[in-house]
Structure 1
Amino acid sequence: MTVRKAERLLNLIAFLLETDRLITPQQIQDTVPGYAEQSWEAFKRMFERDKEALREVGIPLEVAPVALLGEPEEGYRIPKDRYYLPELDLAAEELASLWLAAGLVRLQDPTAARTALLKLAGELPPEVERARLSWLSADLGLAVPGLPRAFEAVAERRTISFEYRGRSGAQTRTLDPYGLVHRKGTWYLVGRDHDRGENRSFRLDRVSGELRFRNKGGPGADFDAPEGFRPQEALEVPPFVGRPEAPLKAPDKEPEAPLKAPDKEKGSPAVDALVRFDASTAWWIERTHPWLRLTWGSDGDASARVPVSDNAGFVSWLLSLGEGVELVEPEALRGEVLARLEEICDGVPPEPEPEPELGAEHG
């Protein structure tokens, strides 16, 4: 009966793993099923191939000289301390993170990855219950058909075009994808919109059909993302912040008409505001407003420049921050902030005067 290679290798591993001494080739041929029916020369060739197969998959095969009755020869064994994994001793936070990561693995059996994780984890930390882990999940939005293609476009910096269902109906858009952002179960593709000439974000679940690469591929990328660009900012920046225009490229020939300055309606910033935050507020601003590029002072204070395209929205945001915030410039926008404060104060009814105390009656 012929023993298949996979079965023969498993038998070899089990034999060399369970022994505490070095095993000679002759003992291996006599003991491991699959070798005994081979001639000595055929066995040696087969054994050499099997040793190489074990080494390729990372199994530590120890080789050392052993002397029995005759001349010393090579002996083999697999040391248990190098073959078996040590205890992982996972903390509760590490186990929870791996549990969520296992949800990304798409297998025919959706529980296979997490079952393997529990086997690797061994005894769970005292603060983690096995039943509680089954409730730990995240909406990763993996069912979006265009996600693999979008990831490929971002990783390889490939310009893409696609049909997009926006508020004004379906349109063909061309994009240099700078990054992918996941937010509350939805994937957003962020990059330079060729049709609008500015950075935009697109929901992948509103893309109709496939994402198409503009070029068929080849050496080099189609574009370079701006230095320091953070895709998540495209979703976090409030609407009153203007979109800075991209630098204009020099044309190949003289244009027929002079280039005009961009209109405000197309998203260019109206004013450049300088806002200062004192030390009691700057730390909170850093955590809650990641889209702001803060410049830190020596006393823990910070400042940031904001390109404002909607003055009223900016003033409302600034006043909502409370104390510890100052608009340094421009002066015209400072005037709007003061005017808004006066409106608020005028709209607050005055406190009622206290009623006079009634004096005691005298007889």
Structure 2
Amino acid sequence: MAQRTSERLLNLTIALLSARHWVTKGQLRELVTDYRRMSPVNFNRTFERDKEALRALGVPIATGSDEAFFEDEPGYRITRRDFELPPVDFDADELSALALASRVWREASAADDTISAIAKLRAAGAQVDSRRFEALAPRISASEPAFDVCWQATLDRTRIAFRYRGADELRTVQPWRLVWRRGSWYLLGLDEGRDAPRMFKLGRISSGPTTVGAPGAFTVPADVDLGGLSRSLEPAGPDASALVAVRAGFQPALTRRGNPAAGPGGLALPEDFACWRIEYSSREDIAAQLAAAGPDAVVLEPAELRVEVVRLLRISARRPA
């Protein structure tokens, strides 16, 4: 499939998925950039072809009308519950590949055409919930500030230097691979100061990383099994758990690492929230993830974790917008 066709189909899907009401064909012509450039005859032909292409891919495009907005003109939309996939389990390498794809998605979802399409939908009177097309995005983030430098260094075989866990020591590392473990990114590489492989959590890199020297400075030893080595060096499993109320349909990164649970007796949960038992090994890491969830997650227990999340939220609230 040509790149332009793929982009047009993605923009059409976003427009249909983000609208709460039916969107007419005429509105879609104004929303999707490629359609605006076509003659009426070419647009009608291309639009019909695009609908069939999306349906062939399994995208459930519904047809209907809402007389309050469109009178007798038929409209189109995608219902999120029919569109979303059921939970899918991936291994670590598959998760790493999806995470890279998610970085591309974040750029696409903030692109000018997408922003323009949402604005035009709202201007046309449609009630747009832009969170609905989050269903299109892979559910892995790479938000650590160190990610970009580390990823590029693994591709270029460039040594990097950084400080870890707030220590004064400057670590110089040959980056071999980035791996996704338990909701976080880790760097696997040769710590030159210790002359031994080490695994570093990107979120705990406190200064840097910066590149050292030129690309092509090292090669990964041929006898090193990177998969086996990363498994042997990965941190210990969870040794604590939290009871968290999560808003239904939000924060899949949290719910996928937990199990549904009963709430505390006598406690009424907010509307559309459900309880999850989530295991963790680092209170610092889980607190940061829960604070980032904002109003979509509420810590019920343990009390010390709840206190830490509240502390982080208060710090965030004091920061200038």
Tell me if both proteins adopt one fold, taking TM over 0.5 as the criterion: no
Q: TM-score, normalised by structure 2?
A: 0.36
Give the number of the structure whose alpha-carbon radius of gyration is greater: 1
